[in-house]
Amino acid sequence: MHSPIGNNSYERVKHATEQVRAMSYTFNCPIITATQLNRSGYDTENPSLDTIGESMGLAMGADAIFSVFQKEEDKDLDIIRMGVMKNRFGPNHGTNEFSIHYPTLTISDSGMGSIEDASANVMGAIEGLAKS
């Protein structure tokens, strides 16, 4: 997707993000996209909004943003983590861990409990997206 509107990357990305968000309301469906982190976000546990690559325009237009990351020791334990970076539907914090099966990239509830006692916030945010 490309936007010719705007004088810099922030304005162009923000405009494209707003158009994608408008499509989700028009068609009454969630739209999930992905973006990469900037250099300061690499090797960061639980990245934050300021580590999103390209433009903060992405963060400004999104209803919810989740980070998917691993700690160094997680790879050997088949653990992947999801954190809430932004959530218009509730708490803007929390991390939950999931099991990952690398050959199929299947992610499932690890059954290991919550991290930082916040798994309800992550799952609540996901459920809020489904309801909107």
In a domain, 17, yes or no: yes
Give 116's pLDDT tier (boundaries 50, 70, 90).
very low
What's the CA gap between 77 and 83, in Å, rounded?
Answer: 18
pTM of the model: 0.66
Q: Is residue 3 part of a domain?
A: no
Find the domain containing 87 and state its range. 9-131
Counting the structural domains of the chain, the total is 1
Q: Which residue has the higher pLDDT, 128 or 22?
A: 22
For 49-103, write each residue's pLDDT tens digit. 877 777 676 777 788 888 888 888 898 999 999 888 888 888 877 888 999 999 9
Contacts of 58 (CB under 8 A, 6+ apart): 13, 14, 17, 35, 52, 65
Task: Give the separation between CA 85 and CA 41, rounded to whole angstroms.
Answer: 13
Residue 16 falls in which region: left (phi positive, over 0), alpha (psi -120 to 50) or beta:
alpha
Q: Specify the 3-state DSSP secondary structure of 55.
A: coil
In a domain, 1, yes or no: no
> Strands, E, within 29-94: which ranges?
64-69, 79-87
CA angle, 110 then 96 then 47, to 5°: 135
Percent of the chain with pLDDT over 70: 78
For residues 120 and 66, give the distance between their C-alpha atoms in angstroms, rounded to a whole number: 14
